[in-house]
Amino acid sequence: MATFNLDIPFDYRFTCWFCGEGSHKTIVATITTHQQYYSVNMPICDECKSYKCHIDVQSLVKLRELIKESMVKQSAKALSIGANWTEKELQESDLNGSAFDGFKKSGWSMYLIAKARVNYSGWALSINGIPIEGNLIDEEFEFDGLSFTSFVSMLDYLSNAFSLNKEFLKRVLAIYGNNRAIEAVKFCRLIPHYSRSEREKAVNDLIESFREKESLAYKKNIVD
Ligand SMILES: [Zn+2]
């Protein structure tokens, strides 16, 4: 089967389709639409290629998901700067000493670069001027201006950025629901959860408080 070259708009020459950084390499990926199956050369940067996701996976949808997951893991430190500081706070912080000089100077731009790479969504795909129809994005998860290609990836980010026990956060998120991730994170940050018994107690208390709220809402509905 022939491998096609993707159409590359002028503004995107030498650009990684996965993260928007400079690219001078390609990898082969497959795209399946309702009518067609394509094998395509996808422009990729050194960093995205170094994750080696293309060795195991060829489907572009899956590949994009895995590359973004690796990106979130690799950029954990840079992403956590934006989760814990504002630009102004960072500049005005009284972190002193040579260890912090570099951090104060370049920390915010490191965060912005990492954020832009994670959120980058590529350009519309076409081959010889013919658009490739089809949805390349499954479901995305959003938190504080960042898009994640999987729930696991969002968990990786949140547990790293806010130094939370990942298993604990996962259980708390299951109780709150993914659409209330901010509240779930706030809860985890407030509640001591260093030991297993502390985590068990916190989860049990949370379930109990949700039950109470539900039964109150139920009673209120009957009265109304
Ligand atoms: Zn890239």
Q: Classify residue 111: in a domain, yes or no.
A: no
Place of tokens 């949808």: 61
What is the identity of the amino acid at 180?
A: R
Q: Classify residue 121: in a domain, yes or no.
A: no
How far, in Å, is the centroid of ligand 1 from the Cα of 105?
Answer: 24
Q: Classify residue 46: in a domain, yes or no.
A: no
How far, in Å, is the centroid of ligand 1 from the Cα of 198?
Answer: 41
pLDDT at 130 exceeding the cut of 80: yes
The residues placing their C-beta within 5 Å of ligand 1, an ion, are 16, 18-19, 21, 45, 48
Model pLDDT for residues 155-172, shown as the tens digit of each residue: 999 999 999 999 999 999
Q: Classify residue 58: in a domain, yes or no.
A: no
Q: What is the pLDDT of residue 183?
A: 92
- Tally of domains within the chain: 1
Q: Which residues contact 32 (CB under 8 A, 6 or more apart)?
A: 38, 59, 134
pLDDT at 103 exceeding the cut of 90: no
Q: What is the pLDDT of residue 109?
A: 93
Mean per-residue pLDDT of the chain: 90
Q: Classify residue 215: in a domain, yes or no.
A: yes
Model pLDDT for residues 13-41, shown as the tens digit of each residue: 999 999 999 999 999 999 988 888 889 99
pLDDT at 223 exceeding the cut of 70: no
How far, in Å, is the centroid of ligand 1 from the Cα of 181?
Answer: 28
Q: Classify residue 152: in a domain, yes or no.
A: yes
How far, in Å, is the centroid of ligand 1 from the Cα of 47?
Answer: 6
How far, in Å, is the centroid of ligand 1 from the Cα of 120?
Answer: 9
Other Cβ atoms less than 10 A from the Cβ of 83: the count is 16
Higher pLDDT, residue 153 or 97: 153
Model pLDDT for residues 192-217, shown as the tens digit of each residue: 888 999 999 999 999 999 998 888 87
Q: What is the pLDDT of residue 146?
A: 94
Q: What is the pLDDT of residue 224?
A: 64
Q: What is the pLDDT of residue 94?
A: 78
Q: Which of 113, 44, 46 is nearest to 81 (CA)?
A: 113
How far, in Å, is the centroid of ligand 1 from the Cα of 96?
Answer: 34
What is the residue range of 213's domain?
A: 139-224
Using CB atoms within 10 A of its CB, is residue 150 exposed (0-12), middle (13-18) or buried (19+)? middle
Q: What is the pLDDT of residue 169?
A: 96
Q: Classify residue 4: in a domain, yes or no.
A: no
Q: Classify residue 12: in a domain, yes or no.
A: no
Model pLDDT for residues 74-101, shown as the tens digit of each residue: 999 999 999 988 888 888 887 777 777 7
**Where is 39: in which H helix or E strand?**
strand 37-44
Q: What is the pLDDT of residue 115?
A: 97
